[in-house]
Amino acid sequence: MQRFRTWFRVKVLRRGSREIKRVREFIYLDEVSVTSLLSSILGAIPSEITEKLTNSTRSEFSGGGEYKTTTTKANIGAKREITRTTDYQVLRKASIQATFRDLYANVESSLALRSGPLPEFKSRERRDIRDAMAGNSEVSPWIIDAVNLERGQLLELEVELRADAIFRTSTIISSVTNIIDQSPILSAEADTQEMRSAIELNGFIREMMAGLVPIRCKVLDYEVANLGGRDFIIHSQLLSGIPASNMPVRKPLHLVGVVEEALFWKDIRRVLFSNSSVRILCRVAKGQVQESWSPVKLVDVLREVIPDMESVMGDFGPSALRALTGGAENNRDASQLRHAALVRYAELLAEVRGSAMTDSLRSQVERIADFRAPTMGSVSSNRAAFREVTELISNELSVRLPPDTLAEMRAQALSQHGLMIDGSLSVRPDDPSGRLDDLGSANFIDAEIVAIYW
């Protein structure tokens, strides 16, 4: 009996520990995605579950006797039957957490990348991993070829949860604006051209986001490593055992995507600004590993109409930061830098023809730059200055380029001289506060977010 009790306690404790590991605290959950994915696997999903328990008790009592007389004989008997029936009916409505649990149980074994520590590998699995580390094959979900990452695959990754820089800056600007509006003194001190421009641009960006939150998270348990001349997404624990002399080229991996602000289960200021470690279940939106990503999706739509839009979005963070802090200390003359940017832009246009500008043409560009540089300081005035240079070079050298190429050249000329798209001074390149997202040579997995939890 004592042995049975010990066995029972051990089984219960082990089962309890497994149940504890499955407990999730949700931060974000897309009910439509969860239901759609599970329906594609199981078919119809019941919205309500009925459990019925019937308890029936039946008792029977019978008895009898015989009575004799000298002339007659009689049998007397009695029988009694009692039946009790009790019904218990429980109506349970399936919640989205229960639906997610069912979904995860069905897809866990087929995840292309799986979060968590590595399991204990068998001898055959260890041989497969050694071959994969040589770049000869892959062992999903721990080592996969970046080229084989396909749209629609499900991934579970542990990440450092973080909103994209443009959303963080926009949220800060909105909060500061609300504070300034409530204080006449602060409103007077903050009434600068840069601050007004940042607030106006922030309103435009908020409208373009339309309730969506772009996230750019560093993946904590996977990296991109070059194995055998190809890029593989590999679990970090596998790389930690490689000697430094044989260590392959490693690059950080980032998960990017867009989530709906209304679907967060916690206040976004608590979770998107804390860099907390969480797990994300997601689907690959673009196959393979991407090298670039646009946090505001409408930019791709508007690029045909406004080629400078992507540059404006990219400059918004440092420009707004400079407006909030009063500008970075810098002794450079902004007018001289704008002058140099216009000349450099003309040189880039001339290089398309494979020739340098003549002295006469350079003098004409210099005159335009002398006149336009002091007036530059907004997007409209910048465009007017660059348009005049474009018309001059186009007429003299017969250069005809599409609008998006001209936009890239303008951005290049401005950035080379430390200027924003509106001609204002950028945060100094050597100032860490100007780097809102230090991504280096990171690679991106562009995904659709299903759930965020820990």
Strand partners, 226: 231
Query: What's the whole-number average pLDDT of the chain?
Result: 76
Q: Token match 């200055």: residue?
A: 385
Residue 138: per-residue pLDDT? 85
Q: pLDDT for 97-133, tens place per residue?
A: 888 999 999 999 999 999 988 888 888 888 888 888 8
Mean pLDDT of 82-87: 57
Residue 331: per-residue pLDDT? 38
The residue among 158, 213, 163 whose CA lies nearest residue 452 is 158
Burial of 354 (0-12, 13-18, 19+ CB in 10 A): exposed
Residue 435: per-residue pLDDT? 44
- Give percent of the chain above pLDDT 90: 21
pLDDT band (50, 70, 90) for residue 149: very high
Higher-confidence position of 414 and 149: 149
Residue 18: per-residue pLDDT? 44
Q: What crossing angle do the helices spanning 334-352 and 359-372 adopt, rounded to 10°?
A: 140
Neighbours of 263 (CB within 10 A): 18
Most confident of 58-62, 230-234, 370-374: 230-234
Residue 428: per-residue pLDDT? 43
Q: pLDDT for 236-291, tens place per residue?
A: 988 887 877 788 888 899 999 999 999 999 888 888 888 889 999 999 999 999 98
Residues 6 or more apart whose Cβ sits within 8 Å of residue 440: 251, 252
Contact assessment for residue 204 and residue 162, using Cβ atoms and an 8 Å cutoff: no
Mean pLDDT of 440-448: 82
Residue 19: per-residue pLDDT? 41
pLDDT band (50, 70, 90) for residue 83: low
Please give the model's pTM, rounded to 2 decimal places: 0.64
Mean pLDDT of 418-425: 70
Q: In which element (H, E) is residue 278 found?
A: strand 277-284
- Statement: residue 453 has pLDDT above 90: yes
Q: Token match 């590999």: residue?
A: 234
Residue 234: per-residue pLDDT? 92
Q: Which of 22-26, 190-194, 251-255, 353-357 has the lowest mean pLDDT?
A: 190-194
Six token digits for residue 448 = 């659709």
Q: What crossing angle do the helices spanning 334-352 and 403-416 adopt, rounded to 10°?
A: 140
In order of 117, 177, 204, 379, the CA distances from 208 in angstroms are 40, 19, 6, 18
Strand partners, 83: 58
**Distance (Å, whole) CA 294 – CA 112:** 24
Residue 396: per-residue pLDDT? 85
The residue among 377, 452, 388, 454 whose CA lies nearest residue 28 is 452
Question: Omega of the bond prior to 141 within 30 degrees of 0, cis?
Answer: yes
Neighbours of 179 (CB within 10 A): 12
Higher-confidence position of 287 and 331: 287
Residues 6 or more apart whose Cβ sits within 8 Å of residue 137: 128, 131
Most confident of 71-75, 382-386, 436-440: 382-386
**Distance (Å, whole) CA 151 – CA 68:** 95
Most confident of 125-134, 183-192, 366-375: 366-375
Burial of 104 (0-12, 13-18, 19+ CB in 10 A): buried
Cα–Cα–Cα angle for 435, 438, 442, rounded to 5 degrees: 150
